[in-house]
Amino acid sequence: MHWSFALLVAYVGYDGYLDRGLNGALWAIAFMLTCFACILLHELGHSFTAMHFGIGVRRILVMPIGGMAEFESIPRDPRQELLITLAGPAVNFAIAGLLWALESQLVPASSSTPANLREFGWLLKWTNVWFGCFNLTPAFPMDGGRIVRALLAYRLPYLRATFWAATIGKGVAVVGIGVAIYFHLWLLVALFIFILSVGEIEYRSVRNQERHAAEWAALSDRFQRVARGEIPPEPPLIRPN
C-alpha cells in the first residue's frame, strides 16, 4: 500500500464530515475502504489468472488512483493476455451482480456518502459497475488497452501491436485529462497522466526487449555459421603500440 493512501483516507473522511458530520465521516471512510477492497479483488483476479499460466506476481500495489499488479513478465500469447486482462473487470461485474441480487434490500443514496447499509450496498453496486466499465477504456496499459494490444497481436507483430495500443491509449488519455479538468476531477487527471507515462514506459520496454532479442539472435546465428565453417571468424583486432 502506497504511503499516499493515508492522505486519501483523511480527505474522504473530511469530505464525509462536511456532508453528514462525524457519522458521515465514518460511513465515507468505510465505503472508500470497501471500494479499495473491491479494487484489490480486481487485481487478484488478474494475478490468479496469470499464476494459472505460470506467470509470477511480484506484488499488488494499492494507490489513491487505483491498484496495479506487477507481473514478472507479460505473456506474448494474445489468448493468455486476453484472459488475464478480462479476469479483473469480471470480478467487479460479479460483485455488482451479487449486489444486484439484493436489489430489493437496497435504496438509492441521496449523496456520495451512504447513510446506512442499504445505501452503502446501492452505491457499492454501481461503483463496481463503474470500475468494470472504466477499466475497459482503451487507454493502454489499462485493461481496455491491453485487450486492444492482445487483439492486434493476433494480426501484427507484438512490438507493432504494442505501439498501436500505446498510441490509441495516449489519445484516449489526453481526451480523459481534458474532460477531467473540465469537471474538476483532479484525481482522475492524475490517473490519466499516470496512464500516459506508464504506457510510454511499457512500450519502450517492449521495444528494447525486441531489439536485444534480435541482436542476440543475430549473434547466435553468426556463431553457429562460424562453427559450421560457412563463414570465417572475424580477425582479431590489432592495435598499434
Residues involved in catalysis: 43
d(Cα 7, Cα 186) in Å, to the nearest integer? Answer: 14
Half-sphere exposure of 214 (CA within 13 A, CB side): 7
Identity of the amino acid at 77: D
d(Cα 72, Cα 216) in Å, to the nearest integer? Answer: 21
d(Cα 131, Cα 222) in Å, to the nearest integer? Answer: 51
Q: Where are the alpha helices (DSSP H) in the chain?
A: 5-52, 78-100, 117-135, 143-153, 158-182, 186-227
d(Cα 162, Cα 19) in Å, to the nearest integer? Answer: 45
Among all chains, which residue has been given the C-alpha cell 514478472? 72
DSSP state of 115: S
Q: Contact at 8 Å (CB) between 140 and 165?
A: yes
Q: Contact at 8 Å (CB) between 40 and 67?
A: yes
Among all chains, which residue has been given the C-alpha cell 486476453? 82
Secondary structure class of 231 (helix, strand, coil): coil
d(Cα 210, Cα 215) in Å, to the nearest integer? Answer: 9
Secondary structure class of 61 (helix, strand, coil): strand
